[in-house]
Every structure is written in structure tokens, then in C-alpha cells.
Structure 1
Amino acid sequence: MLDSRKVVPFSLLTDAVGSCPHRLQQRCRLNLREWPGSHMKPSAFDYIRVDTLDEALSVLADSDLEAKVLAGGQSLLPMLNMRLAQPKALLDINRLVALATLGPLETNLAGVAAQGPGAAFLEVGALVRQRQLERYALEEERTRLIHTALTYVGHPQTRNQGTVGGSLAHADPSAELPLLFLTLGGTAIIQSTRGERQVAAEEFFQSYFTTAIERGEMLTKTLWRLPVPNEGMAFKEFRRRHGDFALLAAACTMKLGSDRKVQHVRLGLGGLADTPLLVDEVRELVGEHWAKERARAIAGAVVNRLDFADDYQASSSYRRQLASVLIASVLEAAYEDALAKEDLLCEH
């Protein structure tokens, strides 16, 4: 017969947490060490749920707690179950509606204004669900690249719960959102009890699952640069099965001048190193007319510079060939998109 003390309905657990006061000095802490019959796969941790950003930052500032932020949990919870992460406490921020903003940037922040005249940004709060951004990005041409990349992220079920901020803070080098954030030249807004700071995407990703977020800090929102009307965009990815992590992913933006020479190009690669990469070699295309042979030559130069490793998914030679094809392909797709937009602008 089952011991009734060990049968804990999820609704009971939720009600118990929901009935607790939410002020910081009386914050609800569900201690799994003391819960009856709690033989959990994760190691024991304290659960803290807050209602305001100030409360959350105060919890993170408490060095004794060593709290880990819980948003969508699509990456963190599996790591807890496998004990790859063993935090002393989980800080649930899902009630912080201020972190769920999504829309054009209303104020001109000094740090992002330096990106040039006419630059426009999409403000995405850290708690915005991936599915929410995917649907929003479908509505406007300038955000189409974001929509395309998000369709490759996991499955619809995981995107319904997973957050944009969580994916960026997790910093998996094979994930689509970090690659796109880097390619578009995004800006991360990080806050703590000490104040707020801005970190460019190029400096945000530092190593495997490691970002510029320091102890006591939290990613609160991100700013994604929106392409100008005649800027071409493309995203391509190769994976074994739907929902798998990419063996290789590539994102590209390209702008043509009135003479149809390449005026600006930016190419990012994911799945090849400990962070997503920006490819410097594509700058050689600036000032030139498009040519497939030139793109293939640049792709060859890139793969000759990079190191490719063998693993259970593919050999190094396979990855090298895949990278060469995918780089040339995404460059061509971005050029064709830019050309189509240029023609459309001329018609109007």
C-alpha cells in the first residue's frame, strides 16, 4: 500500500507556494530537503518566488543563497535532473511581468545609439517566450529572420515555455538564438543591485555555457538590431532530425548599394566552437559585385582557418565539407533576398 505521506499532488505543492507571502523579508521558500517523501532526481534546493525585480536582484545579491534563475526551465530542469547543475536555490522570476515586454524600442539608449543613424531595435524582455517572439516576428518583414530561426528551436511545446532570455543566458554554442543575437549585433541589458549595464553580443558569449553575466546579475532584456528595408537576410541549419541541435547553423545579413555592390555583410556560424562565431573573411566582399565563385572561395578560406572535431554525430571531414557548402549557400540566399528587396523598393 502507498504511504499517503509520500503522495504529494502537484496542485497541493502549487497551492502551498501560492499562499506564502511574497515580500522579500517573508519570501516563500519551499525546502525540498524537508518535504515528506521527496526523493527527487535533482539534488536538494531551496525554491524562492518573487513578485518584483528588486526582490529578485536582492536574492541574487545574497552570496549565501547562490541562487540560479528559473524562467522557462527548458534547459535548466534537465540539467538539474542529471545533476549537471546543483544550485542551493532556484529563483523563480515568472511573475515579473516587467520582463515580458516585446516591441520596438521606445527610448534611445546611449549604448546602442552608437550603431549608426537610422538603426532600429526590437526590445525583447528576458521572460518573453520563444513561441511568442516567433509569432510576433512573423508579422513584420524586418523580423522575418528571427521568425525563421525560431522555427528551428526545439519543438513547439518547448518554445511555448522556453524564454528568449533563458536561451541566451544558457549560451549553448549550438543553439539558434545565441547565433542570431550575435549575427544581428544585439545588445544585452544586465541588471543587479549595483545598477544596469549594456553588453554587446560580441562580448556577451565568452565560452561553453558561459556569458558576461556575473554573480549577482541577471539578464533583464535584449535589444535586437532590425535590418534596414533593403538588407537581405538568411538563416540555414543542418541537423539530423527535427528538434535536434544543429550540426552547423549559419545566419547572414547583407546590404547592397545602389550599384548593387555589397555595401555591408555579416555572417555568423553556430555549432563549430565554444561560442557562436562571426566570420571576418566575408568583409572581403564589401565593395564587390556578387559572384558565386567569390563566395565559394571565401567559404573555402573560412573552413581552412577553422578546426573541426570528430564526435558521435559526424567526422571532422564531414563537418568541413558541410561548413563549406552551408557558408556559400547562406551568403547566396542573403544576396538574393537583398536583390529582391532592392527591386521591390525601385518599383515603389
Structure 2
Amino acid sequence: MLLSFTDKGLYCAAGDFYIDPWRPVNKAVITHAHSDHARWGHKYYLCHHYTKPLLQARLGDNYYESIGWNEPIYINGVKVSLHPAGHIIGSSQIRLEHGGEVWVVSGDYKTEDDGISGAFEVVPCHTFITESTFGLPIYNWKKQAGIYEDIRQWVTHNAEQFNTSVIIGYSLGKAQRILTAVAPLEKPVYVHGAVWNMHQAILSAGIALPQVHRVTPETTKAELKGSIVIAPSSAEGSPWIRRFSPYNVAVCSGWMQVRGNVRRHNADAGFVLSDHADWNGLLGTIQATGAERVYVTHGFQSALSRYLNEKGIWSAEVKTEYGGEEENAESGKAVNTAEE
């Protein structure tokens, strides 16, 4: 096997490196900058050019090397290349080739092009390691354009009532899509400090984003009245959010597909906006890779793996430590939100 599943993460013995390891290692190839996939403590990091400034912002100074998509390098004889995953800015699938075998590690991915994260690329392989965050048939996403229009209509209605629109979304990935959605309204957009930090890191990568203003103690109620505020989940129900009164709150997450989650968040609205593939996206991708073997990681891995086996595609579940930050934050579960 080109990759083995260890207590530190996905290990390539031929190349002597790990992919998204969750324990400190010597060499780590990173799919994207969410902290359940990119952790502190590795000696050497390899990632996409756009991911590097995000890792620097989150993990501080380390030895980082970055490459572009479809620019192969060799690590101890193993051919390694990165390919767009469409999950967030810089997110990549990792393709490994050695001894006639091709393996692809998806990391997290979505198949609809959001216009800022890079269009997902199907990478043919013998073995595919896929996520399954939303690996149930109930998860079937509406097209992004329709969701963006729904968000804009909600914000416009709030403004007519002189209410501030507070939109909750993860600080890296979701917040940038929300910003893109509301940009045509040409209203001032204020952001939480966690969103601001990621915004600055993305700008430093050379990626253009609409202008935002950081919420500070000096920001006046007059400035905020009728405006748009983007904040992470840790801001829900906090003293920080009360300064925007009167306001309405919306949560953007794939978990909003399940009836009752809007109420559980005590939100006024929920928009089903996910940075992960839905059920059909997962199945379509797996089939398109032509993979003979499929390993299913974090999410509804049991359901997806069982379905694939029933359809004649060899599949097995793999236990990992992924899914502990972004997905939990969006679903409202307790997470460490110190940075937010």
C-alpha cells in the first residue's frame, strides 16, 4: 500500500512523509489550512501557494514550502502533486504516484465552483481517500447562485426594518463566500476579529476580496445600523453580538439542511451554504475517479462506505481525527474558539 493509516495520520513509507497528520512529524503535506488538517508542531510543511500565508497566520513561523496546482515534485522518489479541491482558498487534493500505483487524498472538497476557491478537479486514481462530512442522501445542495440571492433578499428586508444583518459563518472559507454574496448590495460590511485576520492573510496571498471593516470598541452604533456583520459561530449569543441591536441573525452551514437546526441556533434564518460536497457530489466524484478502492474518512463514513460496497465499489472506513473544528463549529457543537 502506498499509504498506511497510523496513529499520527496518513503515512507514505516510500516517501517518508505524512498527509495532514494530527501528531507532530518531520514532513507533512497539507491539504488545506483548517486546523483539523493543518496542525502545529511539524518540522516541514508542504502546501499550495495560497495556503502558505494562511498557515503562517494560524501556526506562526515554520519551515513552509509551497507549490502550485499540477506542479509535480518528487519526495524520495514518490511523485507528489496538488490538485484543486474547491473547499476553501488554497485547498488541494494530494496525488501520489509510485511503483505503478496512484493514490489521491481528497482532504475536504466541494464540487460546485464557488468562484474563489478554485474549481474542483477530478483526479483519476487506483485508490481514493474521500471525506464524507455530508455523506447521507438528505444532503442535497441548492445551487450557489440561488442561495446568494436568498441571502441578499434577507439582508435587504432587514435593512428596510432598520435592523443590522449578522451572518454567522466559519472565519476561513464560509466568511469569504458570504462576503462575495453580499458584495452586490454595496452596503458596508463589518467583520469579527477572527474573520478580519483571515481576510488579511488571504489578501497577502494576492487574492482580491471586497472591502470590509473590522468591528472595534470604537465602532459606533450609527455606523452599524442597517449594515452587514460577518462573524464566526463563537459570537452567537455572546456579549459581543449585542452591540448590533436591533439585529437579525442568520447561520450559513450545510447543517441547516436539517429542520430544527435554525431553531437550535436561536437564529432568525438559516442558509444551506456548505464548503463540502453533498451526497451526489461525493458519489459523482468517486465514480469519476475510476478508483478500484475507496477509503472513507470523517463524517457519515459508515453509511457512505456501506453504500459503495453495495454498488460494487470496494470500500472501507478509516478512523481519523479530522472534522474537529470547522464542522463542529458550524453544527453548533463545543469547540475551542480561542482565536475567535
Q: TM-score, normalised by structure 2?
A: 0.25
Q: TM-score, normalised by structure 1?
A: 0.25
Q: Which has the larger share of helix?
A: 1
